[in-house]
């Protein structure tokens, strides 16, 4: 039954984590729901993180034309003690715990029988207790993938001492949801962290089964094996709804990118041959490499002779002498600061992407049919890179186990990786083209994700129909 036939209006409360990597898909999902279900309204509780001012401006620009979505700013809380900073995950866990009274107070100000659910980011699952107290069911919105979900659910079946046993670095894990064994060295940073990272992951994971549904920014054509495996193995796992890829295709304005730089980038791309440019970009956090690593990248680019657009926030620091002069003389490359990633990946001149393998970037690359050369850095990116290369065959391996602070990836590796990436006969290119069509079809009317969203809505507010 269509939502226009609903007997009464319904409201959802979204509580996203303020990092851009989490906000983009969360807000896109909110917009998708209200644009396809007109009797639904959404309130977003806005969390402020120390040192991430961009999140507030992004939320306001992304939702400026959405009257069905209201915003409530939560008060800033005192930053956790310094020792908590040794683990980003435990820092966030501690910060979220301190926000619980403010979340409860905010929801009480709007509490009515119209509120049918809390949609909680992975890091916000402690808010389930608020929902339980107020009689509101909770749903997990996972900005990563079903493979990561599988890993998290598996943590409770393992002994901590096994995880921290350094002699097992070459060990492989059998995890329900993965079609092949998972090497120890591609597990997320938090799994190895004895300063609260592992504990935080464990505490987040133990709340997954307390939700009424798990909403994942993925599409079943990519992760059907994982979805089926989890659902059949553990009857306590809530229903999984694959609703992606959820992407900000309009590219909301970013305060770090001025219009003149934006226009310069697009003009340069317009002048390049079709599928000839490699785009190098390492995420919304603006990861900075050491000068020695910048030098190796530059030498690898020069040796490969590929055209390139390099989002390098360090700009000229570490570049070999004469590199900029060579780049300008040859006309093959451009170095910029912040870059409009979606527009760049959508451009006909771009044929390859050197990426940190953040999940949003992976989905964008698949949506536009641009193969990735894997260079993971933090969080679950190593696990993503492993799946892209070994499980799905839609990426070229540079490294799968690189982490922030690792030894340099040397120029020869980079040069070879770039040549393999841009080889038009590479089987990866064929697989990525196939996945591009599946990604687009999934979110189209009648597609797998379109249908999954309908089932989710029936779960959330079916009783109001």
> Over the stretch 293-343, which tens digit does the pLDDT of each residue have?
999 999 999 999 999 999 987 667 789 999 999 998 999 999 998 889 999
**Of all helices (H) and strands (E), which one includes residue 282?**
none
Residue 207: pLDDT above 80?
A: yes
Helix orientation angle between 20-36 and 448-461, rounded to the nearest 10 degrees: 80
**What's phi and psi for 287, nearest 5 deg?**
-55, 130
Q: What's the CA gap between 156 and 358, in Å, rounded?
A: 25
CB-based contact 194:417 (threshold 8 Å): no
- Residue 257 is given by DSSP the state S
- The reported pLDDT for the residue numbered 169 is 61
| DSSP-based three-state secondary structure for 118 | strand
- The reported pLDDT for the residue numbered 465 is 40
Encode pLDDT of 406-442 as tens digits.
899 999 999 999 999 999 899 999 999 999 999 999 9
- Give the model's confidence band at 117: pLDDT under 50 very low, under 70 low, under 90 confident, else very high: very high
Is the pLDDT higher at 338 or at 254? Answer: 338
CB-based contact 438:221 (threshold 8 Å): yes
- Residue 275 is given by DSSP the state T
**What's phi and psi for 242, nearest 5 deg?**
-85, 115
With 0-12 CB in 10 A as exposed, 13-18 as middle and 19+ as buried, what is 6? middle
- Residue 138 is given by DSSP the state E
- The reported pLDDT for the residue numbered 343 is 95
Q: What's the CA gap between 134 and 175, in Å, rounded?
A: 36
**Among 41, 32, 38, 37, CA closest to 10:** 41
Encode pLDDT of 58-89 as tens digits.
888 888 888 899 999 999 888 887 777 788 89
Q: Alpha helix locations (H) across 86-159?
A: 88-110, 128-134, 146-154
Residue 144: pLDDT above 70?
A: yes
In the chain, pLDDT over 70 holds for what percent of residues?
91
Residue 444: pLDDT above 90?
A: yes
- The reported pLDDT for the residue numbered 249 is 86
In the chain, pLDDT over 90 holds for what percent of residues?
71
- The reported pLDDT for the residue numbered 178 is 95
- The reported pLDDT for the residue numbered 158 is 67
- The reported pLDDT for the residue numbered 3 is 42
Q: What's the CA gap between 401 and 403, in Å, rounded?
A: 6
As a whole number of angstroms, the longest Cα–Cα distance in the chain is 70
- The reported pLDDT for the residue numbered 37 is 87
Encode pLDDT of 185-202 as tens digits.
999 989 888 889 999 999
Give mean pLDDT, residues 124-141: 97
- Residue 3: Cβ within 10 Å count: 18
Q: What's the CA gap between 399 and 414, in Å, rounded?
A: 10
- The reported pLDDT for the residue numbered 60 is 81
173-188 burial code (b ≥16 CB/10 A, e <16): bebbbbeeebbbebbb
**Tokens representing 100?**
């619980």
Q: What's the CA gap between 301 and 280, in Å, rounded?
A: 10
Helix orientation angle between 146-154 and 220-233, rounded to the nearest 10 degrees: 20
Q: What's the CA gap between 335 and 308, in Å, rounded?
A: 8
Q: What's the CA gap between 354 and 281, in Å, rounded?
A: 6
Q: What's the CA gap between 412 and 389, in Å, rounded?
A: 20
Residue 163: pLDDT above 70?
A: no
| DSSP-based three-state secondary structure for 131 | helix
Residue 156: pLDDT above 80?
A: no
Beta strand 172-173 with 182-183 is: antiparallel
Strand-pair partners of 352: 278
With 0-12 CB in 10 A as exposed, 13-18 as middle and 19+ as buried, what is 128? buried
Q: What's the CA gap between 457 and 452, in Å, rounded?
A: 9
Is the pLDDT higher at 249 or at 55? Answer: 249
Average pLDDT value over all residues in the chain? 90
Beta strand 372-374 with 350-355 is: parallel
The arrangement of strands across the sheet holding 350-355 comes to 333-336, 307-311, 277-281, 350-355, 372-374, 395-397
CB-based contact 335:217 (threshold 8 Å): no
- Give the model's confidence band at 49: pLDDT under 50 very low, under 70 low, under 90 confident, else very high: confident
């Amino acid at each position: 039954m269509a939502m226009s036939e609903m007997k009464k209006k319904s409201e959802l409360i979204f509580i996203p984590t303020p990092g851009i990597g989490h906000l983009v898909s969360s807000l896109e999902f909110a917009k998708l729901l209200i644009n396809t279900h007109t009797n639904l309204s959404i309130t977003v509780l806005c969390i402020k993180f120390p040192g991430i001012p961009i999140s507030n401006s992004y939320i306001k620009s992304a939702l400026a034309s959405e009257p069905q979505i209201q915003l409530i700013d939560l008060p800033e809380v005192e930053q956790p003690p310094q020792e908590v900073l040794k683990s980003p995950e435990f820092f966030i866990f501690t910060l979220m715990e301190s926000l619980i009274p403010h979340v409860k107070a905010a929801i009480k100000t709007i509490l009515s029988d119209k509120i049918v659910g809390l949609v909680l980011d992975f890091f916000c699952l402690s808010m389930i207790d608020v929902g339980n107290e107020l009689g509101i069911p909770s749903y997990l919105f996972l900005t990563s993938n079903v493979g990561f979900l599988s890993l998290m659910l598996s943590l409770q079946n393992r002994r901590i001492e096994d995880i921290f046993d350094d002699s097992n670095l070459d060990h492989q894990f059998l995890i329900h949801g993965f079609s092949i064994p998972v090497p120890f060295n591609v597990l997320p940073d938090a799994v190895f962290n004895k300063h609260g990272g592992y504990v935080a992951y464990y505490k987040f994971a133990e709340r997954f089964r307390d939700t009424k549904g798990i909403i994942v920014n993925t599409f079943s054509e990519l992760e059907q094996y994982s979805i089926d495996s989890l659902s059949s193995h553990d009857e306590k796992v809530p229903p999984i709804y694959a609703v992606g890829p959820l992407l900000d295709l309009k590219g909301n304005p970013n305060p770090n990118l001025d219009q003149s730089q934006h226009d310069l980038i697009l003009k340069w791309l317009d002048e390049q041959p079709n599928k000839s440019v490699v785009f190098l970009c390492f995420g919304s956090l603006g990861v900075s490499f050491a000068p020695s690593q910048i030098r190796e990248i530059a030498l690898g680019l020069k040796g490969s002779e590929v055209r390139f657009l390099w989002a390098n926030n360090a700009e000229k620091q570490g570049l070999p002498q004469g590199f900029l002069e060579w780049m300008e003389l040859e006309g093959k490359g451009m170095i910029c600061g912040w870059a409009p990633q979606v527009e760049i990946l959508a451009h006909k001149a771009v044929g390859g992407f050197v990426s940190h393998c953040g999940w949003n970037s992976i989905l964008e690359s698949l949506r536009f049919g641009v193969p990735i050369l894997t260079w993971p850095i933090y969080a679950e990116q190593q696990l993503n890179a492993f799946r892209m290369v070994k499980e799905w065959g839609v990426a070229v391996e540079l490294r799968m186990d690189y982490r922030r602070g690792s030894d340099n990836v040397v120029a020869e590796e980079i040069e070879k990786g770039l040549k393999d990436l841009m080889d038009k006969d590479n089987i990866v290119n064929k697989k990525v083209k196939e996945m591009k069509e599946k990604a687009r079809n999934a979110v189209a009317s009648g597609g797998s994700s379109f249908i999954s969203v309908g089932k989710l809505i029936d779960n959330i507010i079916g009783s109001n129909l």
